[in-house]
Structure formats: C-alpha cells, structure tokens
Chain A
C-alpha cells in the first residue's frame, strides 16, 4: 500500500530535498514543505527543486519569499500534516 510522507525542510535544505527525491523510488507519495525560511539559492537546491517539479511533487512553504511554491500559512500546514503516515523533519 502506498504511504504518504511529508518532508519538512528546515536546516539541511540540500540533503532534505535530495532525500525527498529518493523517497519516491518505491512509489510512495512524498510532499515537501519548506518551513520558516527562504530556500538557499545554491546549485544543489536549484537542481533538486527542478527535479522535484519535473516529478510533479507538491512543494509547499510557509515563507512567502519562496517563489514557485504553494504558499500555506502554518495553520493550514498543521492541518495537513496529520494526514501523512510519516512526517520527516530534516
């Protein structure tokens, strides 16, 4: 049965995004939430972000500075999180 996984991207942004991409390898549903800060503009994060979008994964954020992601306030994210089987804060 497919699992639903939320990855909460906090400190280790590059590794969190790389891990998110890896998690879809067994066909689980993986959504990404970039929390509390702007995604650093590095070559690594840009590459992973591009791949996440190519894979049509949901990328949401509570930080309005993050362009190209769906903005949701904390309350809305908190309402969604209990719907996942695993919540991985990185």
Chain B
C-alpha cells in the first residue's frame, strides 16, 4: 500500500475530510496541517521524500 502525504495548506476545509477518507481506502495517508506548524520544516522535508505520493490541499 502506497504511503500518501496529505498536506493541508490552510487547515481542513469542507471537502478535505471526505477526500482523506476516500484516499485512505487505497493508501496509508498521513495528514499534516501546515497552518498549525505542527511539524518542523526539516522533518517535513524528510516526510515529503519518504512518501510515495503527495497532495497539497
């Protein structure tokens, strides 16, 4: 199963939850909310290159 990194550029919105749920049926999805700055940038870069697929939402 692919690892997908789902970046929320501006936090959750009306449709992000539904898409994350739908994608989770086919991928191992990790969600990072960039608006909350919960992940240091160096760790984020590692995650960007460690994942198989990436979506900036």
Contacts and interface: CB of A to CB of B under 8 A. Distances in A.
A89 interface: yes
A78 B22 contact: yes
Q: Interface extent on B, as a size class?
A: 10 to 19
A71 interface: no
Nearest to A84: B53
Contacts, number: 35
Contact of A75 (B15, B22, B57): B22
B2 A82 contact: yes
Contacts of A35: 15
B25 A75 contact: yes
Interface residues of A, number: 15
B44 interface: no
A81 interface: yes
A78 B26 contact: yes
Interface of B: 2, 4, 15, 18-19, 22-23, 25-27, 52-57
Given A82-B2, A82-B26, A89-B55, 20 more contacts: A8-B55, A35-B15, A36-B15, A74-B22, A75-B22, A75-B25, A77-B22, A78-B19, A78-B26, A79-B25, A81-B53, A81-B55, A82-B4, A82-B27, A82-B52, A82-B53, A84-B53, A86-B54, A87-B53, A89-B56
